[in-house]
Structure 1
Amino acid sequence: MISLSNKNSLPNNTTQQHSSCLGVVLAGGLSSRMGIDKASLQRNQIDMLSYSKQLLTGSGIKNIVISGEPSCSSSQDILVADKYKEAGPMGGIASVIEKHKPAALLILPVDLPLMTMEALQKLKQVGELSQQACFYNDNYLPLYLPINAHTENFLKTAFIHQTKQNDGNKKMDNKTFSHSNMSKSKSGPSMRALLNQIPHKAISINTPASLFNANTPEDWALAQKRF
């Protein structure tokens, strides 16, 4: 079950005040359709993990963590492993919230090569002013997410079920099945389910291409033409 009572584990020199927003790069996917770790893809001589961190820094974020364990991470990166395995983006987000106790998150997937600082700044500004989750129309990520009672209640309820399901799978794995026979499908709550349960704003974007998602080599080739 998700707990919200642990101490913040950010280094002392980056400990955040309760009113601050923590940046999160979502980099915990398997990259199965791309064939290589999407975080390591090179965008104008820097990898996508570094590019994503630059975007968050440029949008006014001081503290950044990486959800997942990408191959190109450095010793300076603060990595948060998924506590809730195969639970999709929500599993990574829940793991970050449980470990770092932020007041809000600005969440950026690592596979948006055309994203801009201006687009992230707008989400952050609208979200902070309204104190609501904020995302672009028809795109749940990137996302500004305040960690309030609405968010906490959803996560507690969703991951009570997830924890029980994981415990049940472990028992079956030990008694009946080999690990290779276990289902690899994602079973966590969806972003849509979260946003349906909390106050939110869906806003328009001036540069729709910024939301282009690169999941395959073909997607990446198209994105490279726009760098």
Structure 2
Amino acid sequence: MGENKAKLMRGGVDMLSFSKQLLADTGIQEIVVSGNDYQVPDLIADAGPVAGIYSVLQHYRPAAILALPVDLPLMTPAALKQLKTKGELSQKACFFQGHNIPLYLPNNTYVELFMSQAFIKNKAAPGSANPGKKSGPSFKALLNQVPHTCVVPDNPQILFNTNTPQQWQQAKARFK
């Protein structure tokens, strides 16, 4: 993107605040932002977003996490509620078809085992082989190891991801 996606402005509010409001509107009472400049610093540097979830799990020990990236400017509370409800009822990781995140992730034995194998047992400094490159496990690797289900979103447009300036401009045209 070339700039911090959390600081991009959507209708007079930055994307981090927009995302936090989405979670609040979904009924999430404790909203935690992970990352070195936020509430929960990464326990393992340069290991990617799954490592951020690991850091939150280690710091808070929540019953579950509803992980939401800041680059989904068309996401809705209704869609997140659908995801959260399906995950709570099934007690499985839950995500939208074709997208590994947003992700409802129960903190259960499967998740603990995956995180232990990925981060605790293999604590050989992630990133040391390829400096500057994220080296932690992917969401796909996580989901291959934990029971999961996927939800077909009512409106697939909510999952429009903005990773480039061009995608951000397309999204801005949609929410004006």
* Number of aligned residue pairs: 175
Task: Check if 1:159 corresponds to 2:159.
Answer: no
**SS, match of residue 102 in structure 2:** strand
Where does structure 1 lack aligned partners over 5 or more consecutive residues? 1-33, 71-77, 173-181
Greater C-alpha radius of gyration: 1
Determine which of 22, 38, 46 is the counterpart of 2:5.
Answer: 38
Partners of 1:102 and 1:51 lie apart in 2 by 23
Partners of 2:136 and 2:142 lie apart in 1 by 11
Where does structure 2 lack aligned partners over 5 or more consecutive residues? none
Give the structure with the higher percent strand: 1
Determine which of 145, 157, 169 is the counterpart of 1:209.
Answer: 157
- Percent of aligned pairs with the same residue? 51
Partners of 2:111 and 2:74 lie apart in 1 by 29
Partners of 2:136 and 2:110 lie apart in 1 by 18
Task: Check if 1:57 corresponds to 2:24.
Answer: yes
Instruction: Extract structure 1 runs of 4+ deviating beyond 6 A.
Output: none
Name the structure 1 match of 2:144.
Answer: 196
Partners of 2:36 and 2:43 lie apart in 1 by 12
Partners of 1:165 and 1:107 lie apart in 2 by 24
Structure 2 counterparts to residues 1-227 of structure 1, below 5 A: 34-69=1-36, 79-166=39-126, 169=128, 183-227=131-175
Task: Using the TM superposition, give the Cα deviation of residue 165 of structure 1 relative to its aligned residue in structure 2, in angstroms.
Answer: 3.2
Partners of 1:82 and 1:221 lie apart in 2 by 30
**SS, match of residue 163 in structure 1:** coil
**SS, match of residue 31 in structure 2:** strand
Assess if the C-alpha contact under 8 Å between 1:162 and 1:188 holds in 2.
no
**SS, match of residue 80 in structure 1:** coil
Partners of 2:162 and 2:18 lie apart in 1 by 14
**SS, match of residue 201 in structure 1:** strand
Task: Using the TM superposition, give the Cα deviation of residue 162 of structure 1 relative to its aligned residue in structure 2, in angstroms.
Answer: 4.3
Partners of 2:119 and 2:141 lie apart in 1 by 13
Report the aligned-residue RMSD.
Answer: 1.6
**SS, match of residue 139 in structure 1:** coil
Task: Using the TM superposition, give the Cα deviation of residue 161 of structure 1 relative to its aligned residue in structure 2, in angstroms.
Answer: 4.9
Partners of 1:84 and 1:161 lie apart in 2 by 13
Assess if the C-alpha contact under 8 Å between 1:84 and 1:162 holds in 2.
no
